[in-house]
Amino acid sequence: MSIGAAVKEGRLPGRVWMYSNYHCNLACTYCLTESAPAVARRELSRTVMIEIGRQARELGFTDLGVTGGETFLMLAMPELLAELATILPVVALTNGTLFSRRLLARVEPLASLPVALQISLDHPDPETNDAMRAPHNFRKVVTAIPELVQRGITVRIATTAESIDETELERLCTLHREWGVPDCDHIIRPIVRRGRAATHGLGVPVDQPDLPAELTITAEGAFWSPFAPTVRDGRLDTDLLITRTTRPLSVPAQTLLRLIQARPPGEDSTLNIR
């Protein structure tokens, strides 16, 4: 079966994820990739990411995702996202802490393109939010989101369900609605117990069937899901590696499709991990 047909029939998710880099200006308690300023960067170059984007479109995938690490530590990220968005719609994950006036000006052209920035915000109380992420994280994020929305950029907010009750969630929702981020762009998901989250005993333990089978490309291979190429004790986890070959993209795409087709019926994801 062709990849395009598998995507059209809903057998294969349409999005291809790329890990642009693994380093980050933060070091969150639940980080799946043990990201921090001085870790191994494991970068994908701009050329490679554009090539993967083009091959994804040719194969029949419908969307791209860019994640890390902090994606905006890659210096050319605004221009790269603009280029990727001419190939396929793209969502980029960011911690939202680096949006200086200068960076805001550089991302402004993304407003007219099919690009969404997904920003993490875990709690309506700065102290609780910052305890999981970093000092001043809350202040930086609640400053950046309205600035981005005012410039016409699509913003999605991702909240981990680890330490938030219903009342607190409602307060968080009131905030994002005030900023102009609709409920459909607010994602609430459990923490996956891998990487630093596993070290700290946070989140839910997962097995392969719990994770979305979305083709995920890193500098070190292709993986089952964006929640798969995690890092523990500085080493990349390879339990959910599907192949070291990342290009041509048809190789990992067909490998993933074969694995999906080999799954017994009823083994679909149930944990709302996305």
- Which stretches of the chain bind ligand SF4, using CB under 6 A? 24, 26-28, 31, 33, 35, 68-70, 95
Report, in Å, the least distance between residue 155 CB and ligand SF4.
Answer: 16
Question: Do 79 and 52 meet the contact criterion of CB atoms below 8 Å apart?
Answer: no
- Tokens of residue 86, six digits: 């001419």
Report, in Å, the least distance between residue 86 CB and ligand SF4.
Answer: 26
CA 187 remoteness from chain centre: 12
Report, in Å, the least distance between residue 32 CB and ligand SF4.
Answer: 7
* Residue nearer to ligand SF4 on the CB measure, 24 or 228: 24
- Tokens of residue 267, six digits: 């083994």
Q: Of 85, 109, 107, 81, which Cα lies nearest the Cα of 96?
A: 107
Give the C-alpha distances (Å, rounded to integers) separating 246 from 23, 56, 91, 124, 220: 21, 11, 20, 40, 8
* Residue nearer to ligand SF4 on the CB measure, 69 or 229: 69
* Residue nearer to ligand SF4 on the CB measure, 236 or 256: 236
* Residue nearer to ligand SF4 on the CB measure, 13 or 69: 69
Report, in Å, the least distance between residue 108 CB and ligand SF4.
Answer: 23
- Tokens of residue 220, six digits: 């070190």
